[in-house]
Amino acid sequence: MGDRLKGKVALLTGGASGLGRATGELMAAEGATVVLTDIQEVEGEKVAADIAATGATCLFRAQDTTSEAGWEAICAEILDRFGHLDILLNGAGVGGAGGDLEEMALETWRHCLAVNLDGVFLGCKHGIRAMRQGSGGSIINISSIFGVAGMSQSGNYCASKGGVRLLSKAAALECAKKTPLVRVNSIHPGFIDTPMVASAVQRRGQAFSDYIDNNVPLGGLGQPMDIAEGVVYLASDAAGFVTGSELVIDGGFLAR
């Protein structure tokens, strides 16, 4: 397709499906060497093989993003094998519990925060360290429209994604005056046609499906490639003066 990411090495968590898969496909088409990670090993290996079959360099590694040792290992492998890390997409995440806070178990709260926020913190920590051993890079953190606005029965999810939003800004400010430069931005997807949204619709029923239809000005669900295009822009040199920003891709949901 192009060469917007030619010569760059990209690490994508949550790469086995949904937004991560679409982004991996687009990054590879734009010339990047792509490393996908996920806890879904069979699916991840299949995605990596499909991308590699196009002639791109793509590999898969199993990774629990809540494990600091796992982050240390994957970053060390990338630096040893490719010599540099230029792009990190912190895309691994889980949905909310779908229940009222007064009934939510502490374990349920902590699991969501661990994956959605602790995992992004660890990614930023070790991604920045790895990128500084090369010529810098770009970190893109997947937040949500519900990191900006609240939604009932999703308190843990909103808290985690709101944390990603402000963690991204804090990290961007820390990195802005240091060299080599690491840029940090967040993307806030709306309702996108992914397994996570499909699961939420199935769990919450027709009322939730109607809520989406009635509250997205452009109508219905967005596509994973809509988000992938935003990620590739922020990862590319075209966004060289962009850091600490929040890119909303939501069909107009937050504009209401």
Q: How far apart are CA 227 and CA 124, in angstroms?
A: 20
Q: How far apart are CA 102 and CA 253, in angstroms?
A: 28
Pairing of strands 182-189, 246-249: parallel
Backbone angles phi, psi at 62, to 5 degrees: -70, 135
Q: How far apart are CA 204 and CA 89, in angstroms?
A: 29
Q: How far apart are CA 210 and CA 33, in angstroms?
A: 40
Buried b vs exposed e over 166-197: b needs ≥16 C-beta within 10 Å?
A: ebbbebbeebeeeeebbbbbbbbbbbbebebb
- In the block, tokens 């219905």 appear at 220
Q: How far apart are CA 61 and CA 84, in angstroms?
A: 17
Helices (H), 61-190: 68-82, 106-113, 119-131, 155-176
Q: How far apart are CA 62 and CA 154, in angstroms?
A: 28
Active site (annotated) includes residue 233: no
89 and 142 Cβ atoms separated by less than 8 Å: yes
* Identified catalytic residue from 157, 189, 221, 239: 157
What residues act catalytically?
157
